[in-house]
Structure 1
Amino acid sequence: MNILAKNPGVAVPAVKRPSKPAHIIKSDAEAIEVAHRLAAEFVKGSSKRDRERIWPVEELDAFSQSGLWSINVPKEYGGPEVSYATLAKVVEIISEADSSIGQISQNHLGVVAAIRTVSDRAQQKLLFGEILNGTRFGNAFSEFGSKRAADFETIFTDHGDYVVVNGRKFYSSGALLAHKVPIVALDDEGRAWYAIADRDAPGLTVIDDWSSFGQRTTLSGTVILDNVKVDKAWVVPGYKGYDKPTADGAIFQIIQVAVDTGIASAAIKETVDFVRTKSRAWVDSGVENAWDDPYTIQAVGTLNLRLHAAQALLEKAGYAIDRAVANPTAETVAEAQIITAEAKILSTEIAIEATNKLFELAGTRSTLAEHNLDRHWRNARTHTLHDPVRWKYSILGKYYLNGEKPPLHAWS
């Protein structure tokens, strides 16, 4: 399915939901096993999907129906409530196979976490039940023309049993093929809520106009909101996740980290495969095989070392988030934010380094279009722009030097 190739910039109709309820994961181990099984299938067409911008329709249905989109639903509501270290590993495994598919799950999983933090029990029962059944969230959070990422012009007005939303969004990963679209909209007090609208709600239009050179099939684009009605049962007070210490921001961030370690892992494996099967030894090396080149050996060792360091911090951040979810205090939340920021720095740096080194070590032949290896660099360069790592260094320095805790928002 590739509507863009036929009708660029057109509004896209809503997708039909699967006829069967989604599977429910039973354990952390099962979540990892299912992720590996799906990744083995997703990787087969990942290059072609990137090259031709083919939407991952069947893959996305398999992903959300597998139960991996409800793995952070609390046990008391029937969910598996796996560790966030496990959730991050799942996203990494999927992203190694196809980083666009990995990214599509990000905002869904983040909203699930927010519902746990801010919703009352009645709303949690309703929404978690839908999520366990297989309802897939996209997102309509960011806006293209606002002064800062955290500034929103989209608003809603209260009409008793429902609200009416008006605005325009961009960077809406997953919205094209979502079942529901959480919209960040402000009330009359300037507070941000998630108004979770039906994908086919009257007035909600999703346009397929995502034109980035990387992460090309994240199902993003412009979302136009023209008097969209949302039942109040589906309006979530997201602002409450940031008016006091909670793990919500770190959860959104750790998923970003996992996408980048997945990209880095894929690039390193592509490097090793190319060097061992296609690259030639350098004329001055004195060796017969490219894989015996001492400089290549050192570089591959360094890349793996740095990836493993990022993965270790990713896992450590997941466990810190678990502690902050269980006991959200200023201290536990700051610890989760700081470790996640450290992981974000390393994952950004290794994703860019590994995807760049791929060509240096594999040689000129690796740049041929038939291999499409540049997709890894394009994906890394695009995804790591989500929030600037230079500010992560500032957060760390302020925390360790002056005891200043990180700000509370989805980018921290």
Structure 2
Amino acid sequence: MTRTPTAALSLGADYEAVADRFRPIFERIAAGALERDQTRALPHEEIDELKRVGFGALRVPVSHGGSGVSVKQLFRLLIELAAADSNLPQALRGHFAYVEDVVNTSPGAERDRWFARFVDGELFGNAWTEVGNVALGSVITKVSRRGDRWVVNGAKYYSTGSIFADWIDVYAQHADGRDVIVAVPTKQPGVTLSDDWDGFGQRTTGSGTTVFNDAAVQEAHIVDFSRRFRYQTAFYQLFHLATLAGIARAATRDAAAEVRARQRVYSHGNASHVSRDVQIQQVVGEIAAWAYAAEAIALQATEPAQRAYEARFVDDAEAEKQANIDAEIESGKGQIVVTELALRASTHLFDALGASATSGAKSLDRHWRNARTVSSHNPTVYKAKLVGDWEINGTEPVYVWQIGRGGNDG
């Protein structure tokens, strides 16, 4: 029996009508992407513009002022955005994950308040990972009582998007020992945000350090981690697939544009203009085909997440469990293949061009650098192991994993 009216769920919208609202902004974002990469300029203005036109409320139901798009439609838009600048989907990853958690909660006043904030343009960042000498499974960031208020203390790295955000989704340990998620407002003295991410790719995602020093939080914004939506790991992974697919699309665009504009030819080539050289046409065709496959796989992998979301509001526990399993397995399969396709496309584009394509002024290497960086976050070898264990033994995938200092077992 359905517990929530269908009209109150985000089941899909007219994609072209929604996308047309954002495409002019995507074009402006693309126009500045090269300069931002070269100067390491954070896209504050670009994200603010997306906020103003409701991009952060894409998954909020229409009944509450959002666009009501499906999971697949969200990631189609993110692929378009990634083709413009692959840093922006990653910067918004923490926001959409928090939104997804809210859309999975039962109707009520607190959910309505969050929906209203999202529609007003408020954004979330992310602060889950702790680096340094932190034992696997430990959480140093703590939530505790200080007199009549609750505060957060600790430090996080890979705080993707937090420097652009109004709120931060913080993974912490409660004073009573529970693992919790805390919504921390950024505009307060107790929160210090640093742009100290030093990766060679995805340079402008705002993935630096966040320090919490008695950062104030409301008790209502402290939620037990066990309540978090079940397909969260798959959902986070889908962002990487969309980003990689967008990078492959950008590599196709830039390879074709560079070939069209190139005047110099080789004496042992096949035509008087590079654009007519059949071997160069083949190279660009292969890049385009790999980008097409990457996008198709990325979008296919979103479907179980939508099923899991819808099953959350129907009394069918078995269907919900299977959808969550499928979401993990399909996103894992997608990562294994899409990673290879994006890296292949971003490398192969240089085979269509001459040495001048390596000019720092063009920064065509940013496509490979960005793809390599995105695909390094969650090692594909472990995703392949997870998929293989499921196929061979029917082992249910791990829904949540952590990283930290290992033991001394050699």
Q: TM-score range by the shorter chain?
A: 0.7 to 0.9
**Cα distance in 2 between the residues matched to 1:192 and 1:76:** 33
Q: Secondary structure at the match of 2:124?
A: coil
Residue 4 of structure 2 is matched in structure 1 by none
Query: Are residues 1:340 and 2:331 paired?
Result: yes
> How far does residue 402 in structure 1 lie from its aligned partner after superposition?
1.8
Report the count of equivalent residues. Answer: 384
Sort the Cα spacing of 1:394 and 1:294 in 2 relative to 1 into closer, same or farther, 3 A: farther
- Residue type at the aligned position of 1:223: T
8 Å CA contact 1:106–1:256 kept in 2: the answer is no
8 Å CA contact 1:193–1:236 kept in 2: the answer is yes
**Cα distance in 1 between the residues matched to 2:380 and 2:365:** 22
Query: Are residues 1:263 and 2:247 paired?
Result: yes
Residue 12 of structure 1 is matched in structure 2 by none
Residue 311 of structure 1 is matched in structure 2 by 295
> How far does residue 297 in structure 1 lie from its aligned partner after superposition?
2.9
Residue 154 of structure 1 is matched in structure 2 by 141
**Cα distance in 1 between the residues matched to 2:52 and 2:285:** 38
Residue 210 of structure 1 is matched in structure 2 by 197
8 Å CA contact 1:27–1:80 kept in 2: the answer is no
Residue 409 of structure 1 is matched in structure 2 by 400
- Residue type at the aligned position of 2:373: T
Query: Are residues 1:382 and 2:373 paired?
Result: yes
Q: Secondary structure at the match of 1:138?
A: strand
Query: Are residues 1:220 and 2:207 paired?
Result: yes
- Residue type at the aligned position of 1:216: R
Residue 241 of structure 1 is matched in structure 2 by 228
> How far does residue 204 in structure 1 lie from its aligned partner after superposition?
1.0
Can you list the C-alpha shifts for 1:298-341, whole angstroms capped at 9, x where unaligned?
A: 33222222222221122222222111111152211111222222
- Residue type at the aligned position of 2:304: A
8 Å CA contact 1:306–1:346 kept in 2: the answer is no
**Cα distance in 2 between the residues matched to 1:197 and 1:262:** 31
Can you list the C-alpha shifts for 1:148-191, whole angstroms capped at 9, x where unaligned?
A: 78653211114687421111011111112211122111124543
> How far does residue 42 in structure 1 lie from its aligned partner after superposition?
0.5
> How far does residue 206 in structure 1 lie from its aligned partner after superposition?
0.9
Residue 237 of structure 2 is matched in structure 1 by 253
Residue 70 of structure 2 is matched in structure 1 by 83
Residue 122 of structure 1 is matched in structure 2 by 109
Counterpart among 70, 84, 89 of residue 102 in structure 1: 89
8 Å CA contact 1:140–1:183 kept in 2: the answer is yes
TM-score (norm 1): 0.86
8 Å CA contact 2:18–2:67 kept in 1: the answer is no
Residue 69 of structure 1 is matched in structure 2 by 56
8 Å CA contact 1:208–1:221 kept in 2: the answer is yes
Sort the Cα spacing of 1:53 and 1:323 in 2 relative to 1 into closer, same or farther, 3 A: same
**Cα distance in 2 between the residues matched to 1:354 and 1:228:** 44
**Higher deviation after alignment, 276-285 or 62-71:** 276-285
8 Å CA contact 2:260–2:274 kept in 1: the answer is yes
Sort the Cα spacing of 1:70 and 1:272 in 2 relative to 1 into closer, same or farther, 3 A: same
Kindly report which structure 2 residues correspond to 1:28-39, keeping only aligned pairs within 5 A, or say none: 28-39=15-26
Q: Secondary structure at the match of 1:214?
A: coil
Sort the Cα spacing of 1:111 and 1:163 in 2 relative to 1 into closer, same or farther, 3 A: same
**Cα distance in 2 between the residues matched to 1:124 and 1:284:** 66
Identity %: 30
Can you list the C-alpha shifts for 1:114-160, whole angstroms capped at 9, x where unaligned?
A: 22335773321221211111111112221122557865321111468
**Cα distance in 2 between the residues matched to 1:287 and 1:143:** 56
- Alignment root-mean-square deviation, CA: 2.3
Counterpart among 273, 288, 292 of residue 272 in structure 2: 288
> How far does residue 33 in structure 1 lie from its aligned partner after superposition?
1.8
- Residue type at the aligned position of 2:291: L
